[in-house]
């Protein structure tokens, strides 16, 4: 895999800093209006670049959202509820998790808790992004709502900082694709036909399988995956729907504990 290109450090217009005067003490000959126009142009260029880089993910996400809209309605959600869920939650893994639990007869509480566990990965992602965002806590939190997996990766410069305009652009186009796909699936499900006949009901298990395969890069990850699978298989015939998913997710604590121990040992040896 080729190494991602290094992005340039944030320009002053990205954080609202004033340009420092020349060292010789002479006044800057560039009028303030020209500076504002230049900053606006740079922001617009990065925003458009973000839209362009996010477009492939928007197309793929739209197709996935199409299946979500069909399957969600089949699980008992109204078209309005499915569309509202995509517009508010905007997280494919969490939404498919919740729908899978509801489709099996699980409770809303179990579905919400499982979705929250899936989305907990955004906590460290947001913490990493925070220093690259301007403003106070509330403003940074509002900007952080644009974080999704692909956009977070696109916006990374490779040095621990992030370009927020790339983030906004790539997330914006993905949001349109996700909500648009859900609308098409929820409202056009009758036109598309039976979800099982089309194989749409198999998309979200395949979606999670793809996520799992991508994470099996080391022995610890494989151990956690096997442990989670065993827990779920044991509990499926014994507990209400939704409980096996929640219990199996606790296997991730094994990986987290092992990772923390490995990092601590590395620090001591260093």
Do 131 and 158 fall into the same domain?
A: yes
Residue 241 has pLDDT above 80, yes or no: no
Token pair 């006949």 in the structure block, residue: 197
Among residues 60, 59, 88, 83, the alpha carbon closest in space to that of 70 is found at 83
- 14 in a structural domain: no
Residues 147 and 267 in one domain: no
Alpha helices in 157-218 (DSSP H): 164-192, 195-198, 203-215
**What does the alpha-carbon distance between residue 120 and residue 101 come to, in Å, rounded to a whole number?**
18
Which residue, among 152, 177, 173, 147, has the nearest Cα to 162 in the 3D structure? Answer: 152
Q: Would you state the pLDDT for residue 19? A: 44
Average pLDDT for 12-19: 45
In a domain, 28, yes or no: no
Q: What's the CA dihedral at 114, 117, 118, 122 to 10 degrees?
A: 150
Instruction: Answer whether residue 146 is part of any domain.
Output: yes
* Sequence-distant (≥ 6) Cβ neighbours of residue 182 within 8 angstroms: 65, 66, 68, 69, 72, 82, 83, 85, 86, 87
The pLDDT value recorded for residue 227 is 86
pLDDT computed for residue 205 by the predictor: 66
Q: Give pLDDT tens digits for 139-197.
A: 999 999 999 988 988 898 888 899 999 999 999 999 999 999 999 999 987 676 565 66
Comparing CA positions, the residue from 101, 131, 109 lying closest to residue 14 is 131
Tokens 């806590």, residue? 137
The number of folded domains in the chain is: 2
The boundaries of the domain holding residue 243 are 216-270
What is the pTM (predicted TM-score) of this model? 0.68
Lowest-pLDDT choice from 2-11, 28-37, 58-67, 204-213 = 2-11
Q: What is the pLDDT of residue 11?
A: 47
Same domain, 148 and 236: no
91 within some domain: yes
In this structure, the answer to whether residues 80 and 164 fall within a common structural domain is yes
């Amino acid at each position: 895999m080729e190494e991602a290109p290094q992005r340039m450090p944030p320009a002053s217009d990205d954080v609202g800093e004033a340009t420092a005067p020349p060292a010789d003490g002479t006044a800057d000959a560039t009028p303030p209006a020209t500076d504002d126009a230049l900053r606006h142009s740079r922001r617009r260029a990065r925003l458009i670049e973000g839209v362009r880089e996010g477009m492939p993910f928007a197309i793929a996400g739209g197709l996935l959202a199409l299946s979500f809209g069909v399957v969600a309605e089949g699980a008992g959600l109204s078209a309005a509820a499915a569309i509202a869920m995509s517009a508010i939650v905007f997280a494919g893994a969490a939404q498919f998790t919740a729908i899978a639990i509801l489709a099996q007869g699980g409770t809303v509480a179990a579905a919400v808790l499982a979705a929250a566990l899936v989305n907990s990965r955004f906590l460290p992602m947001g913490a990493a992004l925070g220093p690259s965002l301007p403003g106070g806590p509330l403003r940074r939190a509002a900007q952080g709502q644009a974080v999704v997996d692909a956009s977070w990766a696109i916006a990374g410069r490779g040095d621990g900082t992030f370009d927020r305009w790339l983030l906004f652009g790539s997330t914006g186009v993905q949001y349109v694709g996700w909500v648009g796909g859900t609308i098409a699936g929820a409202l056009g499900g009758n036109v598309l036909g039976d979800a099982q006949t089309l194989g749409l009901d198999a998309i979200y298990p395949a979606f999670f399988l793809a996520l799992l395969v991508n994470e099996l890069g080391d022995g610890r990850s494989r151990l956690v995956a096997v442990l989670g699978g065993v827990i779920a298989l044991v509990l499926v015939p014994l507990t209400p729907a939704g409980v096996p998913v929640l219990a199996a997710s606790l296997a991730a604590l094994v990986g987290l504990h092992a990772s923390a121990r490995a990092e601590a040992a590395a620090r001591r040896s260093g």
